[in-house]
């Protein structure tokens, strides 16, 4: 029994896009942005559409083809927030970091090993200065993104620990700023006095 033609066409048309989203270079997967500033955000919208397709639509074709989008949406809320919105906001924060710091040479994300505590510290937004051969690489900013959570002193402490670990590895962190990006705000304590090496970024800042 042959597959209906419209189904075959749909899968073929999306195959290339899904392959691109899954098998892109590490820089693309991490949302790394380096070099010149980009004009416009259309590529972010395209990537968001692909992510939405993978996370939500591809799992629910049977219901969607029956026109039962309301049921699909009710059952996909948590997945949409964790797999679509969260990663997208992190990319927006990296774009913001690149535009906000004229000295930035590379913006990305990564993990800092913490052997003493047998753990790893995820850094959502890492801003590095351009390579200056013969000198330690300067870390301009380390940031954590919590689009749906109020951020407090514990988040700053985690970033400070990451900075200390990078210092021990030979990076130049003398002027590193610890940046908290939050869509839900900050604790009263953090908001009242974040400290000279801490910066707080809100959704209003991202869309200013």
- Tell whether the model's pLDDT for residue 17 goes beyond 90: no
Residues 102-142: tens digit of each pLDDT: 889 999 999 999 999 999 999 999 999 999 999 999 999 99
User: Hey, what are 6's tokens?
Assistant: 């419209």
Q: How many residues does the chain have?
A: 208
pLDDT at 144 (0 to 100): 97
Q: Which residue has the higher pLDDT, 83 or 107?
A: 107
First-to-final CA distance of the chain = 55
Mean pLDDT of 74-80: 83
Half-sphere exposure of 179 (CA within 13 A, CB side): 26
- Tell whether the model's pLDDT for residue 90 goes beyond 80: yes
* Helices vs strands, H then E, count in the chain: 9, 6
Could you tell me if 190 and 156 are in contact, meaning their C-beta atoms sit under 8 angstroms apart?
Answer: yes
Q: Please tell me the least confidently modeled range out of 40-44, 112-116, 143-147.
A: 40-44
Structural domains in the chain, CATH included, are: 5-99 (no CATH), 103-206 (3.40.1350)
Mean pLDDT of 152-171: 96
Q: What is the DSSP letter of 105?
A: S
Kindly indicate the confidence band of residue 68, based on its pLDDT and cuts at 50, 70 and 90: confident
Tell whether the torsion through CA atoms of 199, 204, 206 and 208 is positive or negative.
Answer: negative
Mean pLDDT of 165-176: 95
What phi, psi does 34 have (nearest 5°)?
A: -135, 160
pLDDT at 67 (0 to 100): 85
Q: Which residue has the higher pLDDT, 42 or 185?
A: 185
Q: Please tell me the least confidently modeled range out of 12-16, 43-47, 76-80.
A: 12-16
Range list of H helices, the chain: 5-23, 26-30, 42-55, 61-65, 69-80, 86-100, 153-168, 188-192, 203-206
As to burial, measured by CB atoms within 10 angstroms (0-12 exposed, 13-18 middle, 19+ buried), residue 141 is buried
């Amino acid at each position: 029994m042959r597959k209906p033609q419209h189904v075959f066409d749909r899968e073929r048309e999306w195959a290339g896009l899904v392959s691109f989203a899954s098998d892109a270079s590490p820089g693309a997967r991490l949302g790394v942005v380096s070099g010149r500033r980009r004009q416009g955000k259309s590529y972010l919208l395209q990537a968001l559409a692909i992510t939405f397709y993978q996370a939500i639509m591809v799992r629910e074709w049977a219901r969607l083809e029956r026109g039962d989008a309301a049921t699909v949406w009710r059952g996909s809320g948590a997945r949409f927030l964790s797999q679509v919105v969260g990663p997208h906001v992190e990319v927006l924060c990296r774009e913001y970091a690149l535009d906000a710091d004229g000295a930035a040479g590379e913006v990305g994300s990564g993990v800092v090993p913490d052997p003493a505590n047998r753990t790893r510290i995820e850094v959502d937004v890492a801003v590095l200065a351009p390579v200056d051969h013969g000198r330690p690489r300067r870390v301009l900013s380390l940031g954590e993104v919590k689009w749906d959570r109020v951020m407090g002193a514990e988040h700053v402490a985690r970033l400070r620990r990451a900075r200390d670990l990078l210092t021990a590895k030979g990076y130049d962190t003398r002027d590193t700023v610890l940046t908290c990006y939050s869509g839900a705000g900050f604790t009263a304590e953090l908001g009242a006095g974040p400290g000279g090496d801490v910066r707080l970024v809100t959704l209003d800042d991202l869309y200013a």
